Structure 1
Amino acid sequence: MEILKKIISLSITMIIVFTLFASSTVEAAYKLPFETNSKAIYMVNTDTNTVVYEKNKDEKIIPASLTKIMTTIIALETVKDLEGTIVTAPSYIYDEFFGLNVSTADIRQKEQVRMIDLLYAMILPSANEAASIVADYIGDGSIAQFVDMMNKKAKEIGAKNTVFKNPHGLMAQGQVTTAYDLYLITKYALSLPMFEKICTTTSYQMPATNKHSQPYNISHTNYMLSKVRGGSYYYPYAKGIKTGTLPEVGKNLISMASKDGYNYLLISLGAPEVDSSGKPLGKNGAFEDAQNLYKWALTSFKHQTIIKEGEVIEEAKVRLSSGQDYVSLLAKNDVTALLPSDVDATAIQKIPTILKDVRAPVKKGDVLGRLDLKLNDEIIQSVDLVAYQDIHRSLWKYSFDLVKRFLNNTIVRVLLIILLLLVLIFLVLKARYRKLQRLRAARSRYIRKMQK
């Protein structure tokens, strides 16, 4: 019974701690000093998971070729030997592209291509035939089956507002996503082996095959990565990841940038290609937004240490202890926040939340609270608060508390009331029975007396 009580107590504590202190991306988006072209934007500092800017993050938008990121995820998780897996391009997949001016890596019908080369072809030049070849292979000849895998994976990742209809991103009714969902999908993809290496490669050599007698090069469609192709859009700190363009949505771009230890991930969707009259704008609004956003973020923010590991933050009252009835709470780790360059760390609000009804025993290092750090009433970072020392339990106090909690239990109270009522009924019936016995005895004496 004692072991069972400890297990139940530990489980309840873990649930409370998880509920109170589960971490997530810090929402602390700031205002921009310039206008943006894109319809939806989600920009995160990946060092601290701080959202520095967001715009229409949950608005449903056509993903275009950004769809290929999910196709790549399924391939990376399904195919274990990327270089040793040879895939033959089926002829039927080309029917979908006939007469359309779609992006391609010149992979031909019946060509035998390694899976790794197909992935580079999908991400760099955004080859649509490569995506369909991958989908056909992994879907056992059924692209529809592969698309089901894509949608299932999206839900697992948490992309609740995303629906895929094909593996390449060409226009399809009902194929939608959001800037926030694509952030989740891309963040997940970056956690997989090989994805970052593939998506940040600017140029790749496709090997000779049964349909190509000589190797040939393919290049990334994110022109920000190339001095030669990018021109004024070239940005030396940009990396990867994927472009996507359709007349129905305009320019989409997912990219990263790193400089001086600062790292950002940017999702930008729906930068228009034409003005309200249908006249071409003559610019790539997605590249323009990315340049401006990266320059702004990399010059406007800096990491500042706000809390030091082991710093005493608060105290927690402890019941049932054999000694002191409180324990000091320390910051579990250093807290470094991304703050505007003109904001001093002393301007940060520190809001502690302590677990209620802390009971001994307490172990050194137990999480008993959380400290939220706020700027302009928005949480920018949080840290767990842990016990400074062990606090032992008083057996006498614990026993008394068990009895008290037992008696305070509603079911126990109801049972006690019922038991009390039964005892009262028993006593009343017993008293009546004794009275009846006395009456019977008196009557018997009276009858015997009359008979004499």
Structure 2
Amino acid sequence: MKKYRSLPPFFLALVLALSLFTPALAVSSPGEAFSPVNAASAILIDADYDEVLYEQAADELRYPASITKVMTGLLTVEAVDRGELSLDAQVTLGDTLYTGIGEGGSTQDLKPGEILTVRDLLNCALIPSANEACNALAVVVAGSIPAFVDLMNQRAAELGMDNTHFVNTHGYHDDSHYTTARDISRMCLEAMKHPDFREIVSSVSYTVPATNLHAQRELHDTNALVSNFRTGSTGLLYRYAIGIKTGSTPEAGYCLASAAEKNGRTMIAVVLGGENWRVKGVDVENNYFTESKRLLEYGFNSFSRKEVLSPIDPVGTIPVSLCAEQDYVTVQPALGLEATLPNDLDPAVFDRQVTLPETLEAPIAKGQVLGSIALSYEGKDYGTVDLVATTALERSQFLYVLDQVQRFFGHLWVKIALLALVVLILILVVRHLVFGSSRRNRRGGSAPKVYRSSYRGKRR
């Protein structure tokens, strides 16, 4: 169970409701001034590199409303990619079609017993936001709605959506059905990797052929960045928009997960709890469509891809022993490092934490990993890269043998043994000097005396 899930629905609803009135704190990278988004939560990511460029209360719990349908669509296209389904497979709708859908929910008047293709159901769910189409897809993919909801939560966990809990397939309000702007961005990032999903959410319209129970349907996108059919206003259109999904309930407010592609770059923005585009018949200047467009443009105009670490620049040197040719080795990054940064931010100001050993012994191979370098800026980590040797250093056999001899005689037990040997030798020398002299003196004192006569008489 994720955190908050043990809260009673009433208290969870209270927390979420109060958070709508809490001033949002914006966090962005250095760059040109960007005023906070007029919404409860927001996030902007570089979709090409999965890097967060701006966030505003991105981890606060919110109700996702119909943005939930992104997960339903994702699970469906993944089943298609695995070969478990075909987009052209025909589906006969069952009696559970309207499960969990109350009054006021968006539908396309699908009927039990009606036959449509999986492609038709996906378009009904993602373009005009038909709730019952999501339930139909759930039965097709997982066999039942409860089993599909379990898959939704399982997939959310796999995507790192740690603050998300689904209880239905469509996003009709439920106090226990919640997520965050950050989690939604992760879900959308994954979904937009699938061409079928991407094609549907970027479509202005779609035609569902006549079925056995209904005339032809003309579907129009609810996303005003893509289509002006619902709003009637061309001022909200964004020429670079490629999706993704709207959502609104009284509890969630007005929400939009959007994506745009410009000059070969892709951005994803999520705005939750924003303003409607029109209030009491009057256009609202800073609504959830305009704020999403402003976020996307901020990403395109104020950020660029920069090299923060070059793979060819030396980082430092390490002293090396046992090599006759050179007493140091130079290290450099094993690979380069790039990041999407504000245009006016110079990577030279990044903090660099270099970790290297104090000394090394030859041999050292070229490219051998010897340490690492970590880059960060104002508390944000931009990555850690291995540092490798730029050259190979051979070991000198003479220096190695000399070193081994020095090491041998440097051992404490060897020093003790040598000291003991010296002491023993000294003892033997002293003993020899002392006792050897004593023996010589004893031999000299016992020798017989010789008496010589002084008589010189004549012999006879």
TM-score, length basis structure 2 = 0.70
Say whether 1:90 aligns with 2:91: no
Select which of 285, 288, 297 maps to 1:286: 288
State the partner residue of 1:131: 134
Kindly provide the CA deviation profile for residues 350-394 of structure 1, in whole angstroms up to 9, marking residues without a partner as x. 504335487876554445444444444544465443332445678
Larger CA deviation: 377-386 vs 239-248: 377-386
- 1:58 deviates by 1.0
State the partner residue of 1:189: 191
State the partner residue of 1:40: 41
Paired residues of 2:268 and 2:296 also in contact (CA < 8 A): no
TM-score, length basis structure 1 = 0.71
- 1:265 deviates by 1.2
Paired residues of 2:38 and 2:274 also in contact (CA < 8 A): yes
Paired residues of 2:277 and 2:288 also in contact (CA < 8 A): no
Equivalent AA in structure 1 for residue 61 of structure 2: K
Kindly provide the CA deviation profile for residues 92-112 of structure 1, in whole angstroms up to 9, marking residues without a partner as x. 3236446x2222234332122
Give 1 or 2 for the bigger CA radius of gyration.
2
- 1:289 deviates by 1.1
Equivalences for 1:353-372 in 2 at 5 Å? Answer: 353-354=354-355, 356=357, 363-372=365-374
Classify the secondary structure of the residue corresponding to 1:150.
helix
For residues 205 and 345 of structure 1, do their structure 2 counterparts lie closer, same or farther at Cα, with a shift above 3 Å needed?
Answer: same
- 1:244 deviates by 0.9
- 1:151 deviates by 0.9
Classify the secondary structure of the residue corresponding to 1:254.
strand
Paired residues of 1:318 and 1:326 also in contact (CA < 8 A): yes
State the partner residue of 2:224: 223
Q: Which runs of 5+ in 2 are unaligned?
A: 1-26, 412-460
State the alpha-carbon separation in 1 of the partners of residues 314 and 255 from structure 2: 47
Classify the secondary structure of the residue corresponding to 2:97.
helix
Equivalent AA in structure 2 for residue 341 of structure 1: N
For residues 282 and 250 of structure 1, do their structure 2 counterparts lie closer, same or farther at Cα, with a shift above 3 Å needed?
Answer: farther
For residues 345 and 145 of structure 1, do their structure 2 counterparts lie closer, same or farther at Cα, with a shift above 3 Å needed?
Answer: closer
Paired residues of 1:87 and 1:114 also in contact (CA < 8 A): yes
State the alpha-carbon separation in 1 of the partners of residues 197 and 324 from structure 2: 55
State the partner residue of 1:29: 29
For residues 30 and 110 of structure 1, do their structure 2 counterparts lie closer, same or farther at Cα, with a shift above 3 Å needed?
Answer: farther
State the partner residue of 1:166: 168
For residues 50 and 158 of structure 1, do their structure 2 counterparts lie closer, same or farther at Cα, with a shift above 3 Å needed?
Answer: closer
State the alpha-carbon separation in 2 of the partners of residues 45 and 69 from structure 1: 19
State the partner residue of 2:6: none
Equivalent AA in structure 1 for residue 29 of structure 2: A
Paired residues of 1:252 and 1:269 also in contact (CA < 8 A): yes
Paired residues of 2:306 and 2:338 also in contact (CA < 8 A): yes
State the partner residue of 1:349: 350
Classify the secondary structure of the residue corresponding to 1:168.
coil
Paired residues of 1:314 and 1:352 also in contact (CA < 8 A): no
State the alpha-carbon separation in 2 of the partners of residues 55 and 30 from structure 1: 15
For residues 355 and 156 of structure 1, do their structure 2 counterparts lie closer, same or farther at Cα, with a shift above 3 Å needed?
Answer: farther
State the partner residue of 2:107: 104
Which of the pair is proportionally richer in helix?
A: 1
State the alpha-carbon separation in 1 of the partners of residues 366 and 293 from structure 2: 48
State the alpha-carbon separation in 2 of the partners of residues 319 and 85 from structure 1: 71
Paired residues of 1:349 and 1:374 also in contact (CA < 8 A): yes
State the partner residue of 2:236: 233
State the partner residue of 2:201: 199
Select which of 250, 254, 260 maps to 2:253: 250
- 1:322 deviates by 9.0
Say whether 1:267 aligns with 2:291: no
Equivalent AA in structure 1 for residue 388 of structure 2: V
- 1:170 deviates by 0.3
Say whether 1:121 aligns with 2:124: yes
Paired residues of 2:350 and 2:376 also in contact (CA < 8 A): yes
Q: Which runs of 5+ in 1 are unaligned?
A: 1-26, 408-452
Paired residues of 1:206 and 1:218 also in contact (CA < 8 A): yes
State the alpha-carbon separation in 1 of the partners of residues 73 and 361 from structure 2: 50
Query: How much identity, in percent, do the aligned residues show?
Result: 32
State the alpha-carbon separation in 2 of the partners of residues 361 and 131 from structure 1: 64
State the alpha-carbon separation in 1 of the partners of residues 363 and 76 from structure 2: 50
- 1:293 deviates by 1.7
State the alpha-carbon separation in 1 of the partners of residues 162 and 40 from structure 2: 20
- 1:62 deviates by 0.6
For residues 108 and 36 of structure 1, do their structure 2 counterparts lie closer, same or farther at Cα, with a shift above 3 Å needed?
Answer: same
